[in-house]
Structure 1
């Protein structure tokens, strides 16, 4: 009886030592994360294009898990990418689009890994294509000065500031949109300064944008910016 018990214990030890390690499940598998955000190369921001077949290029993204990456590019005639949009997915970091003449375009790219995990979109770039016999260039896309994007500022008031330029050195005026939603209200129209003071309440996220207009009626819609109060 004692001999049987000893043999049984030896058999248990042997079986426990000969288990297939591949059957062991990792209790803490690595979480899949999105690839890095692509960095745009060309066309350059505010480029005035004379050709209507354009090459687009961006830098490769890095995926921490080593997954294969594809890229999703969007082109549209507004910076919310809701009008006249063109898009495609490619494994390359270059592609070409045919665009209309005499139109302002916006473009952006995001990276997607083989598990369908997508990065944030890149920064938006703007370019315009010259029309036949075009004599006036549209103002350049306004750039943010202050407050910085997503900056936290004190309640009370703040001076919204931006920078805008025009290739023809035309006189520029501005419409300012401001509010607590992503579709801010028009609060100032046809002002001739690139700054505007607004009142703030505590604990809000504020959104704002600027429309730039030259003396020939050429108009450029700026990007949506935001900041918070504390």
Structure 2
């Protein structure tokens, strides 16, 4: 009799476990596609002669075998806030016509049919050629280190950025703005290297900006980045 009671109790526990979803036989979690790590056109800091551009990138893969689509975003700023194109395609290329004589920034993201999204590709800059233009403004500098809104150890911090210009032969110089104000004051001007040391104190948030100037004196105002010192 006791054996029968134990057997019934065991069967009841198994039925209760299954009814409550205790089984591990459910579908595995979705895996997002791999990041697009290489774009083939337009490449970084390219001057595009034609303003009808065939954007191309290497295909992503999906561990689950899900179909992949791609979202391409094109903007007139490196932070991709001023979006001019937001397209979705099932292939790893798309042709888009843009305005002439404009600096653009673009990125592409892989998305599977379960909603999984990869990290966006690196943001790349390019110019569309315009009639009568003999000199193009530098591209907006890209942040390197420290990353925007990151936290660093207080003391001497080496600020690093990456400049770019589509005019072959132009040598860029930089004006660095740095401080505690959200609109930081000028720290150094005429820098020829893409880095500079600054001094920080723990407990403060610092803001910085890099303006790029080409051989003709054309200046591109940079975007404001920030970091916390601890």
TM over 0.5: yes
* Distance in structure 2 (CA, Å) of the matches to 1:38 and 1:170: 30
* Distance in structure 2 (CA, Å) of the matches to 1:70 and 1:207: 37
Structure-1 residue corresponding to 2:189: 191
For residues 114-129 of structure 1, the aligned pairs below 5 Å read: 114-129=113-128
* Equivalent residue for 2:35, pick from 34, 37, 42: 37
Q: Once the 2 structures are TM-superposed, how far is the Cα of residue 130 of structure 1 from its aligned partner?
A: 1.6
Instruction: Check whether the contact 2:178–2:208 (CA below 8 A) recurs between aligned residues.
Output: yes
1:214 aligns with 2:210: no
Report the 3-state secondary structure (helix = DSSP H, G, I; strand = E; otherwise coil) of the residue aligned with 2:88. Answer: strand
Instruction: Check whether the contact 2:75–2:81 (CA below 8 A) recurs between aligned residues.
Output: yes
For residues 32-71 of structure 1, the aligned pairs below 5 Å read: 32-39=30-37, 40-71=39-70
Per-residue deviation, residues 28-59 of structure 1 (Å, max 9, x unmatched)? 64111221111222111000111111110111
Distance change >3 Å, CA 67–CA 171, structure 1 → 2 = closer
Distance change >3 Å, CA 105–CA 160, structure 1 → 2 = same
Instruction: Check whether the contact 2:184–2:207 (CA below 8 A) recurs between aligned residues.
Output: no
Distance change >3 Å, CA 210–CA 112, structure 1 → 2 = same
Structure 1 regions of 5+ residues with no counterpart?
1-23
Instruction: Check whether the contact 2:78–2:140 (CA below 8 A) recurs between aligned residues.
Output: no
Report the 3-state secondary structure (helix = DSSP H, G, I; strand = E; otherwise coil) of the residue aligned with 1:60. Answer: coil
Question: Is 170-179 or 192-201 further displaced after alignment?
Answer: 170-179
1:200 aligns with 2:203: no
Structure-1 residue corresponding to 2:88: 89
Distance change >3 Å, CA 202–CA 104, structure 1 → 2 = same
Question: Is 211-220 or 142-151 further displaced after alignment?
Answer: 142-151
Report the 3-state secondary structure (helix = DSSP H, G, I; strand = E; otherwise coil) of the residue aligned with 1:92. Answer: coil
Per-residue deviation, residues 183-227 of structure 1 (Å, max 9, x unmatched)? x53332771013433233447786654221225453445577776
Instruction: Check whether the contact 2:45–2:126 (CA below 8 A) recurs between aligned residues.
Output: yes
Instruction: Check whether the contact 2:139–2:220 (CA below 8 A) recurs between aligned residues.
Output: yes
* Distance in structure 1 (CA, Å) of the matches to 2:131 and 2:69: 36
Structure 2 regions of 5+ residues with no counterpart?
1-21
Instruction: Check whether the contact 1:36–1:61 (CA below 8 A) recurs between aligned residues.
Output: yes
Instruction: Check whether the contact 1:152–1:229 (CA below 8 A) recurs between aligned residues.
Output: yes
Structure-2 residue corresponding to 1:98: 97
* Distance in structure 2 (CA, Å) of the matches to 1:28 and 1:214: 59
* Distance in structure 2 (CA, Å) of the matches to 1:110 and 1:180: 35
Q: How many residues align?
A: 209
Structure-1 residue corresponding to 2:135: 136
Instruction: Check whether the contact 1:136–1:168 (CA below 8 A) recurs between aligned residues.
Output: no
Question: RMSD over aligned Cα, in angstroms?
Answer: 3.6
Distance change >3 Å, CA 51–CA 32, structure 1 → 2 = same
Instruction: Check whether the contact 1:152–1:227 (CA below 8 A) recurs between aligned residues.
Output: yes
